Structure 1
Amino acid sequence: MNFDRIRLSNFKPYGDADLRLTEGVTVIHGLNGSGKSSLLEACFFALYGSKALDGTLDDVVTKGEEETTVELWFTHDGTPYRIERTLRVYDDRIDHQCTLESTDGSDVARDGARSVREFVTELLRMDAEAFVSCAYVRQGEVNELINATPRERQDTIDDLLQLGKLEEYRKRAGDARLGVEDVLENRRGRLDQLDEQIAAKEDRDLHERLNGLESELSEVTDEIERYEEQRERATETREAAAETLSTHAEKREKLEAVESTINEIETAVREAERERDEHRDAIAEVRERMTDIEAAIDDRLDDAGLDSADDDVIEARREALDKREAEIRETLDDERVSAEAFRNQATNLTGKADDLAERAAELDAEADDLADEAEAAAAEADERESSIEELREEAEGLRERFATADVDRESVEDKRTTLREQRGEVRERVAELSAELKNARERVAEAEELLEAGKCPECGQPVEDSPHATGIEDDRERVAELEAELESAREREGTLDDRIDELDELAEAADRLDKIDETTEMLGERVEERRAEAKQKREAAAERREKAEAKRETAEETREIAEEKRQEAESAAERVTELEAALSEVDEAREAVDAVEERANAVADAEATIERRREKRETLAELNDERRDRLADKRERRDELAAAVDETAVEEAEERKEKAEQYLERVDGELERLGDRRTELDNAIGSVNGEIRELETLRSEREELAATVEALDGLHGETSELEAMYGDLRAELRQRNVAELERTLNETFDLVYGNDAYSHIELDGEYALTVYQKDGESLDPEQLSGGERALFNLSLRCAIYRLLSEGIEGAAPTPPLILDEPTVFLDSGHVSRLVRLVEEMRGFGVSQILIVSHDDELVGAADELVTVEKEPRSNRSTARRADATELDIASLADD
């Protein structure tokens, strides 16, 4: 598999980038923080999406942008593909869209982030985690695999070599075996339970119990039939007696009904006679009330202004009163309006006069305030003139300081900035020298420890057998040089600190002079403004006092007019009072007319009442005559019914009925008892039949369950054999993988450490690693130095990659080998070995190697160079290709 092209839009530091990648070794070069690793992360993200990120999708979107696009073209096993991922930011969420397609017309297409990730995982036979473990050595993780436990290393390598599938299949077979065991145990338990249930039911002799219950049921049924016949005869006797009683009861009911009717008629006659007497008394009362009303009418005629209570006379008097009232009300309304108008005018004029007086007082107060403000402005102007004089004296003293200095006021800031930049460079140099001195001292200390142990400082071999001459003296000389250079740099830093402190004080003085000049100018302008303000406020105060005097004069004139309007309002009010009295007289007369009319109507109503009551007395007399005729007929019917009732026959029928009911009560109790017993027998017979059917069902279920247990025994054996087969196959393939991996690891390691202090590496079946020196002594990889551990781990990674590339049974396509800053833990000697390893990996057939590094030796080993730069103002990165043969190594070193 090869990466062919990567195109980015708003991905991390990249605004727009389009880079083509070819076979061979490509080194991505640039300053720290320029965005080199982001190119590799973009390729990884294109393949696996969010699974390739340590953070969230928000982290890859360029700050300030709303959409990110990553496109990757790659070729796998001869087929070209293109992946496009787009992220769009919406408020607090991100929309992730992804597509994959083949570009040779083979009609391979996937849509959706999950679908694309699953396709890539299947295509490469590795997920994102396996990709990192095999092909992608990320920055800072170079020692991850060597630092892993043997178990972690075993799981990682097994997964890469697809042995995890066999373990998965073995676990599935084991789970199936355990499942069969659970089911088999359950079925065997159920079989034992069935045997116990069948034996228990067979011991109960169910058929014999059934025969006894059926015989008893037949006897109970015969006895029930006999009792039911006797109950039927008793029922007939009871019904005949009841019919006799019913006939006599009907006659008695008719007799009682006739007697009740007679009582009702007699009561109605008495009620009617009483009501006739009430009407007679009421007529007498009404006549007395009429006499009183007629006397009251005579008393009110004079008050109403009437000669009589005749309807026409009353109507004429009412019309005259209405006309008089209308005339009075019309005049009264006019007078009321005039009085209210005069009162309102007087009130409004008085209020206006008060407002004018109040406004005059306000103008006097405003004039006083303006006079006070004018005096305050004049005083403030005097105070600021005094401040200006003090500032001018301070400025003169500051200018004298610059007269004796070696810089003037205008150039002091530029001089301080230049010295600060120089101090920053010196401090960076101090930090570099400190780090380099620390590393040099550590090398000398490590070499001295080896020398004390009698071993070579470079290769670790005994001094007498060492193939190298010791370089410890050169390291000691380098430490002395670095110490001297560091001391000189620190002295230079101290000198610059002192000079910068002097310039800081002069810069403060220059800033203070600028501030004084600005303040003096501002205060002068303020003095002129305040004096002008004082003059303006004095003039405004005089103007307001003139206006106040004019308003007081106008207020006095307005009060005189208001008094005249108040007197006119009082005259109109007196006329209103006179008219209201006349109107009251009209109301009294109308009230007397209404009283006369009301009493005349009452006399007419009383006469009508007397006539109605007289007619009701006559009607009641006629009704009573009819009721007396009906009463005579009902009395004759009562006598006939009384003679027809036979009390002796009634007593005999009641006696027969009582005896029949007593016998039926006893028979019902016995039938209920026998019925309950029959129900019990039916239930018992049904229960025994159910148990017999259940016994047959249990026997049938046992036969089926016995067959199932036999089948499960066979299945359990098959799953056990399958589990063992997968386990044996995995162990066999692991041993083959261990042998192949040990071979490729030793070949790779020999290329890096050939003819050196180490002889070979052993890898056991659990993937535990052991390094052997040429003298036969074994070492754990963690005992190697920092650079040796990093290089050893890179060798292990490359060996695993070779094993995947070559395959156990034939070559398999693998992704590019990606190394992100592999020289972080390597010194110059070990970098040379890494260059050798990269060149040999090309020789083993690795078609594409991508390396992020700023090391010159690795850059020199590149077929192609990608240079990454970041523009300081926009903070955006750019990437461009360059032929490594045309690279000016010296210029890169200067960078």
Structure 2
Amino acid sequence: MMFDRIRLRNFKPYADTDLRLRDGVTVIHGLNGSGKSSLLEACFFALYGSKALDGTLADVVTNGAEEAEVELWFTHDGRSYHIRRELKRYGEQIQTTTCTLESDDDELHRDGATDVRAFVSDLLRMDADAFVNCAYVRQGEVNKLINATPTERQDMIDDLLQLGRLEEYRERAGDARLGVEDVLSKKRGALEDVESQVEAKEAKGLHDRLNGLQSDLNDLDAKVDNYEQQREKAETTRDDAQQILDEYEERREELASLESDIDELEATIREDEAERERLGDRVADERDRIEELESTLAERLSNTDVAAADAETLDARRADLDDREDDLRDDLRDARSQVNALTNQSENLAQKAEEVDERANELRERADRLDNEADEAAETLAERERKRETLTDERAEKRSLFEDAPVDVGEATAYRDSVQSDIEEARTEIRETAADLRAARSSVEDAEELLAEGNCPECGQPVEDSPHVDTLDEDREHVSELEANLATANERKASLEDDLDTAETLVEAENRLSQIADTVDLLDDGIDEKQAEAEEKRERATELCEEADEREAEAEEHRETAEQKRSEATETRETVEELEADLDRIQTARDRLDAVESTREAIDDAEETVERLTEKRVDIADRNDERREFLASKRERRDELREAVDEERVENARDRLDNAEDYIERVTDALADLHERRDDLTNRIGAVENELDELETLRERRDDLAARVDELEALHRETEELEAMYGDLRAELRRANVESLERMLNETFELVYGNDAYSHIELDGEYHLTVYQKDGEPLDPEQLSGGERALFNLSLRCAIYRLLAEGIDGAAPTPPLILDEPTVFLDSGHVSRLADLVAEMRGFGVRQILIVSHDDELVGAADDLVRVEKNPTSNRSTVDRIDDPSLAAVEAELNADD
């Protein structure tokens, strides 16, 4: 597997970065805190998403940004892939909005963070944790494996070599074996329980019990049939006797009904006769009341202005009163309407006067506000004039910087660019001169060593025999000349850097002059605007005050008119009161007419009552005559029924009924007992039959359980064999891997350590590590020095990587080897050993090695150099590929010398 390209947008310190990666050794170089590690974290995050983070998604989005994007292109097993992840902020939450994976043949597409992570884990045969343990040595975790316990180390390495799968399979087989044992134990217990139940039921003799019970049931059914026939005969006798008694009872009921009807008719006749006498008394009372009403009518008629109490006379008088009332009500309605109109006019005028006063007050308040706003505008105008004067002074100050400057205003940026170009040329000259100087010094040093030994510095022959002995002086002069040239170039560089500071100052002044010009133009426009605004507000305030005076005069006119309307309304109310008094007199006359009419109507009602009561007395007399005839027929029927009753036949029927009912009761009790005994026998027979069915079911279940137990016993043997097979296979593979890993670890550690203090490293089957000294003394890796432990751990990680690469036959090539700040615990001597380890891994066929480091010594080991820098102002990082890493190494050395 190889990373081809990583593109970032708003990821940690990167605003917009696109970096292509190639095979070989790529060193990502830069100062601490510049953002080097974030590039590799982005690759790791692209593969595994949130599982690759120590924190949350909010940690990867650039501060102040609303969204972020990461894209990774990589090649694996000859096929290209592209992963794209987008993050977006929703309130205080960061969520993944897009996560896709596609291949170069357009046949593969995965969508969703979970689906993409699962695909990558299957493709690489490792999840995020395994990726870190195998290929990604993260910053600060160089000692992770050496500090781990043997058990933790065993789990890590077994998972990488897929041995964890075998342990998982063995555990599954063990779980299956235990599960089969549980089921087998339950089935054996169930079989024993069923067999004991079968034996118990077979010992009961169920078939003999069933035959005896069925014989008893047949005898009992015969007795029940006989008793039921006798009960039917007794029921017939009972029904005949009951019919005779029912006929007798019907005649008795009719006779009692006739006696009741006769008594009721006699009572009704007596009550109606009494009612007839009471009606006669009421007729006499009503005639007395008529005489009193006629006297009252004459008295009430005298209080009116009519001569008679007949309806026509009263109606005519009412008509006159109605006409008079209509005229008065018309006048009253007009008067009341006039009162309302005058009152409303008065109130409206008064209200209008108040509204006009309020409007005048509002106008005066608006005028006051406008005066205040005019004062504020005048203050703002004065402030702007002061600010314009300040900016004018500053502009003169900035222009004075160009009086003795090598350029005029507007030429500062071009001048700065020219100085920067000259500085780059000076730096190039310094690098070239320094390289020539190192070569010349090396030549002189070699020559001086030969001279010290008595040999010629050019041909190596003895000095006395060499024709070129004078060349050394020329080389020394050349060194002196190069030193002088290098000093001159450094002085020129320093002078140009001073010029660059001057240019930067001029550029800042030029930019500030542009800003001042824009600001002064805005202030000029604002001054004119505020001056016009103040004058306009003061003029408007004067106009509002004049309008307020006019409104106050208008309000006073409205109040005077309102008072006049109130006076007219008071006069009209007096006319209304006079009209209402006339209407009251008309109502009194109408009430007196109503009293006369009601008295006359009462007399008519009394006369009608006398006539009605008289007719009712005649009706009562006629009804009583009819009742007396009906009473005579009832008495005749009563006498006939008394003669038709045979008391002896009725008494005989009662005796037969009592005997039949007594026999039926006794037979019913006997039958109930027989039915109960038959039900008991039936239930007992059913119970025996059920037990026989249960016995047959138990026999079938016994056979099924026996067959199931045989099957489970065979399955248990198979799971035991499978569990043992997986355990043996895992142990054998681990033994082989431990031997290979121990060999590779010793080879790698010998290369990077390179001294005679230690003889070899031993790795046992439980992944416990021991370092042996030359004298055979064993040491725990933790007893090594800090730098030795770091090299030891790097050796172990590289050995694991080699073992994993050799253990996979091309189906899943290993990912790039990633080292993030591996020199943290190393001194300069150990750093050179690390460079040797990197070269060794290239020799083992590792296609791509990515190293993040701020150490300049690793730059020389790079095929590709990527420099990371952070802008201190924007706090944003940028990347720059260096085409010639060797030149970068020289520059780093020169900077170190300076």
User: Does the aligned pair in 2 maintain the 1:194–1:698 contact within 8 Å?
Assistant: yes
Question: In structure 2, how many angstroms separate the alpha carbons of the residues matched to 1:110 and 1:350?
Answer: 84
User: By how many angstroms is 1:767 displaced?
Assistant: 0.3
Q: CA deviation at 1:308?
A: 1.2
The answer as to whether partners of 1:11 and 1:61 remain within 8 angstroms in 2 is yes
Instruction: Please say if residues 96 and 113 of structure 1, whose CA atoms lie closer than 8 Å, have aligned partners that are also in contact.
Output: no
Structure 1 position 119, deviation (Å): 1.6
Report whether the alignment pairs 1:230 with 2:230. Answer: yes
What letter matches 1:192 in structure 2? E
CA drift of 1:126 comes to 0.7
What is the CA–CA distance in structure 1 between the aligned matches of 2:7 and 2:690, rounded to whole Å? Answer: 81
SS in 1 for 2:303: helix
Task: Tell me the distance in 2 between the aligned counterparts of 1:610 and 1:221.
Answer: 88
Count residues in correspondence.
708
- On the 8 A contact 1:89/1:95 being kept in 2, the answer is no
Return the alpha-carbon distance in structure 1 between the equivalents of residues 253 and 738 of structure 2.
121
AA aligned opposite 2:879: A
Deviation at 1:736, TM superposition (A): 0.4
The equivalent of 1:288 in structure 2 is 288
User: For residues 482-521 of structure 1, what are the structure 2 equivalents within 5 Å?
Assistant: none
| TM-aligned CA deviation for residue 220 of structure 1 | 2.1
8 Å Cα contact 1:309/1:596 also seen in 2: yes
In the TM superposition, 1:140-539 aligns within 5 A as 140-330=140-330
Judge which range, 648-657 or 867-876, deviates more: 867-876
Residue 727 (structure 1) shift: 0.6
Specify the code of the residue in structure 1 equivalent to 2:82. R
| Cα pair distance change 1:887/1:292, threshold 3 Å | farther
Are the equivalent residues in 2 in contact too, given 1:12–1:59 (CA < 8 A)?
A: yes
Q: Is 1:23 the counterpart of 2:31 in the alignment? A: no
Change in 2 beyond 3 A, CA 1:88/1:244: same
Q: SS state of the match for residue 857, structure 1? A: helix
Counterpart for residue 101 of structure 2: 100
Give the whole-Å Cα distance in 1 for the aligned partners of 2:603 and 2:892.
Answer: 138
CA shift digits 1:650-689 (9 cap, x unpaired): 1111111111111111111111111111111111111112
Tell me the SS of whatever aligns to 2:256: helix
Unaligned runs of 5+ in 2: 369-537
Change (3 A) 1:93 1:209: farther
Shift of 1:576: 5.5
Change (3 A) 1:593 1:37: same
Distance across 2 between alignment mates of 1:703 and 1:347: 113
In the TM superposition, residue 610 of structure 1 has moved relative to its aligned partner by 2.5
Aligned CA RMSD, in angstroms, stands at 3.5
TM-superposed CA distance for 1:722, in Å, is 1.1
- Structure 1 counterpart of 2:429: none
Which range is displaced more, 95-104 or 764-773? Answer: 95-104
**Which AA in structure 2 matches 1:819?**
L
Residues in 2 aligned to 1:354 and 1:835: alpha-carbon distance in whole angstroms? 99
Which digits, 9 at most, give the CA deviation of each residue in 1:420-449, with x for residues without a partner?
xxxxxxxxxxxxxxxxxxxxxxxxxxxxxx
For the residues of structure 2 that align with 1:743 and 1:182, how far apart are their CA atoms? 46
Larger mean CA deviation between 258-267 and 741-750 belongs to 258-267
Contact 1:283 1:610 in 2 (8 A): yes
Q: State the distance in 2 between where 1:25 and 1:317 align.
A: 134
Residue identity opposite 2:765 in structure 1: G
**1:753 alignment counterpart:** 753
Partner of 1:737: 737
| Contact 1:31 1:869 (C-alpha < 8 Å) held by counterparts | yes
Q: Is the 8 A contact 2:4 2:73 kept in 1?
A: yes
C-alpha displacement of 1:321: 2.4
Cα pair 2:770 2:781 within 8 Å, conserved: yes
**Aligned partners of 2:627, 2:812: CA distance in 1, in Å?**
131
Using the TM superposition, give the Cα deviation of residue 875 of structure 1 relative to its aligned residue in structure 2, in angstroms.
3.0
1:874 is matched with which residue? 874
Q: Distance between the aligned counterparts of 1:127 and 1:239, measured in 2?
A: 99
The equivalent residue for 1:846 is 846
Q: What is the CA distance between 1:829 and its match in structure 2?
A: 1.3
TM-score norm. by structure 2 comes to 0.73
Cα 1:194–1:579 shift into 2, 3 Å:
closer
Name the amino acid aligned to 1:709: V
TM-score (norm 1): 0.73
How far apart, in 2, do the equivalents of 1:342 and 1:127 lie? 98
334-343 vs 830-839, which moves further: 334-343
Name the SS for the 1:139 alignment partner.
Answer: coil
Task: Map 1:814-825 to 2 at 5 A.
Answer: 814-825=814-825
Task: Provide the C-alpha distance between the structure 1 equivalents of 2:192 and 2:233, rounded to a whole number of angstroms.
Answer: 62
Other-structure match for 2:584: 584
**1:572 shift after superposition:** 6.4
Distance 2:565 2:104 in 1: 107
SS of 1:739's equivalent? helix
Q: Is this contact kept in 2: 1:863–1:883, CA < 8 A? A: no
Partner of 1:71: 71
Question: What do the CA deviations read for 1:824-862 (whole angstroms, capped 9, x no partner)?
Answer: 111111111111111110011111000111111111110
Q: What is the CA distance between 1:276 and its match in structure 2?
A: 3.1
Q: 2:732 is matched by which residue type in structure 1?
A: E
Q: What SS class does the counterpart of residue 257 from structure 1 fall into?
A: helix
Cα distance between partner residues in 1 of 2:155 and 2:601: 123
CA distance in structure 2 between the aligned counterparts of 1:847 and 1:12, rounded to whole angstroms: 28
Q: State the 1:283 CA deviation.
A: 2.4
Q: 3-state DSSP class of the match of 2:814?
A: coil
Paired residues of 2:745 and 2:796 also in contact (CA < 8 A): yes
Shift of 1:329: 4.5
- The residue aligned with 1:692 is 692
- The aligned counterpart of 1:865 is 865
Asked whether the 8 Å contact 1:804–1:812 carries over to 2, the reply is: no
In the alignment, the residues of structure 2 paired with residue 560 and residue 174 of structure 1 have an alpha-carbon distance, to the nearest angstrom, of 113
- Give, in angstroms, the shift of residue 314 of structure 1: 1.0
Structure 1 counterpart of 2:142, one-letter code: V
Question: Structure 2 counterpart of 1:187, which letter?
Answer: K
What is the CA–CA distance in structure 2 between the aligned matches of 1:736 and 1:290, rounded to whole Å? 144
The alignment-based identity, stated in percent, is: 62
Q: Partners of 1:80 and 1:354 in 2: how far apart?
A: 88
Q: Relative to structure 2, which stretch is displaced further, 726-735 or 880-889?
A: 880-889
- 1:425 alignment partner in structure 2: none
8 Å CA contact retained: 1:303, 1:589: no
Deviation for aligned residue 1:614: 2.8
| Code of the aligned partner of 1:98 | C
Secondary structure at 1:888's aligned position in 2?
A: helix
> In structure 1, how many angstroms separate the alpha carbons of the residues matched to 2:353 and 2:850?
101
Q: Which runs of 5+ in 1 are unaligned?
A: 371-535
- Paired residues of 2:7 and 2:72 also in contact (CA < 8 A): yes
Question: Are 2:3 and 2:73, in contact at CA under 8 Å, matched by a contact in 1?
Answer: yes
Kept after mapping to 2: 8 A contact 1:748/1:795? yes
Report the Cα offset of residue 65 of structure 1.
3.0
- Structure 1 counterpart of 2:770: 770
Distance 2:888 2:149 in 1: 44
Note the C-alpha offset of 1:44: 0.9
Structure 2: distance between partners of 1:157 and 1:355? 95
Partners of 1:238 and 1:657 within 8 A in 2: yes
Q: Which residue of 2 aligns with 1:707?
A: 707
In structure 1, C-alpha distance between the alignment counterparts of 2:351 and 2:851, rounded to whole Å: 98
Deviations 1:405-464 (A, max 9, x none): xxxxxxxxxxxxxxxxxxxxxxxxxxxxxxxxxxxxxxxxxxxxxxxxxxxxxxxxxxxx
Matches within 5 A, 1:602-681: 602-681=602-681
CA change 1:71–1:348 in 2 (3 A) is: closer
Change (3 A) 1:56 1:561: closer
Change (3 A) 1:598 1:221: same
> In 2, distance between residues paired with 1:328 and 1:52?
105
Deviations 1:675-709 (A, max 9, x none): 11111111111111211222222222222222222
Q: Does the residue aligned with 1:319 lie in a helix, a strand or coil? A: helix
The structure-2 alpha-carbon separation of the partners of 1:594 and 1:240, relative to structure 1 and needing over 3 Å to count, comes to: same
Q: 1:179 to 1:352 in 2, by over 3 A?
A: closer
